[in-house]
Amino acid sequence: MAARPRHRRRIAVIAATAALIAVPAAAGCSAVDKALDCVQAADSIADSVSDLKQAVENATNDPAQADKALDSIDRNLDKIGDKTDNADVSKAVDDLDTAVGNVRTAIKNGDGTPDITPVTDAAGELTKVCTP
């Protein structure tokens, strides 16, 4: 059953990619490439957020797992942030970056089960603004 949300997300990415391919040539390849990069990175971030949820649930067994998931989200945020000039995407990236930083700080301060709801919410918003 855990695979179902990923399956839906993959279908959404495929649909978004198909829509991007259908964008008129007048939009230019770079705009399509940027949008496609945003969709792909948002999908990777969604996977990393799922990994983070799992890591927080198993924090007592492997505390380093949460750091790995947070690092993965950070890498993908850097990719999106470097390639976008869209204000909505930039705001979503900033919000997610702040949420990741707060979780990282909570873990550093000894919180074994930090609230990752802001990360999940911000990742959802990023996925929303990246989807055409």
Residue 51 has pLDDT above 60, yes or no: yes
Candidates 55, 75, 73; CA nearest to 65 is 55
Q: Is the pTM of this model over 0.75?
A: no
- Which pLDDT score, from 0 to 100, does residue 98 have? 93
- Which pLDDT score, from 0 to 100, does residue 31 have? 57
Among 15-19, 63-67, 79-83, 124-128, the least confident range? 15-19
How far apart CA 118 and CA 15 sit, in angstroms, is 27
- Which pLDDT score, from 0 to 100, does residue 13 have? 47
Inter-helix orientation angle 3-21/29-57, to 10°: 170
Residue 124 has pLDDT above 50, yes or no: yes
Helix or strand (DSSP H, E) at 35: helix 29-57
CB-based burial label for 40 (10 Å; 0-12, 13-18, 19+):
middle
